[in-house]
Amino acid sequence: MQLKKLDERLSVGPQITPDEVADLAKWGFRSIICNRPDDEDPGQPSFAEIAAAAAEQEMEVRHIPVAGRPAEAQAVAFAEALKEMPSPIYAYCRSGGRAGALAMMTGR
């Protein structure tokens, strides 16, 4: 798993599996933001699967799906999540691009 650390509170990267959620917890992450719509690609883990794995690790999760370019409303929701969720936070999409774009839109 390749993570890009943007600051002490936020890292972004590609799709994770439910098994990788435990790795994130071991590395100290306390929250996950999913920026991927469910069923974007065949076989991708659903948000519910990631959320269930995160609950086992006592991590918080938020689903802010983005199809295409992020909209202002999604950036606002992302910024609110960053304020409300315990850090460090891992935000992901298919490749990390949309998660990174949302982070840039929030000044990260």
State residue 1's pLDDT score: 75
Closest by alpha carbon to 21, among 76, 73, 74, 58?
Answer: 58
Query: pTM of the prediction?
Result: 0.95
Q: Which two tokens stand for residue 91?
A: 């935000």
Rounded to an integer, what distance in angstroms lies between the CA atom of residue 53 and that of residue 57? 7
Map the chain to HEC letters. CCCEECCCCEEEECCCCHHHHHHHHHCCCCEEEECCCCCCCCCCCCHHHHHHHHHHCCCEEEECCCCCCCCHHHHHHHHHHHHHCCCCEEEECCCCHHHHHHHHHCCC
pLDDT over 90 at 107, yes or no:
no
Domain boundaries, the chain: 4-105
> Model confidence at 2, in pLDDT bands (50, 70, 90)?
confident
**What residue type is assigned to position 59 of the chain?**
M
Q: Which two tokens stand for residue 74?
A: 């999604």
**pLDDT, mean of residues 13-25:** 97
**pLDDT, mean of residues 29-52:** 96
State residue 24's pLDDT score: 97
Q: Give the CATH class of 4-105.
A: alpha beta
Per the CB < 8 A criterion, the answer to whether 34 and 62 are in contact is yes
pLDDT in tens, 46-97: 999 999 999 999 999 999 999 989 999 999 999 999 999 999 999 999 999 9
State residue 15's pLDDT score: 96
> Model confidence at 13, in pLDDT bands (50, 70, 90)?
very high
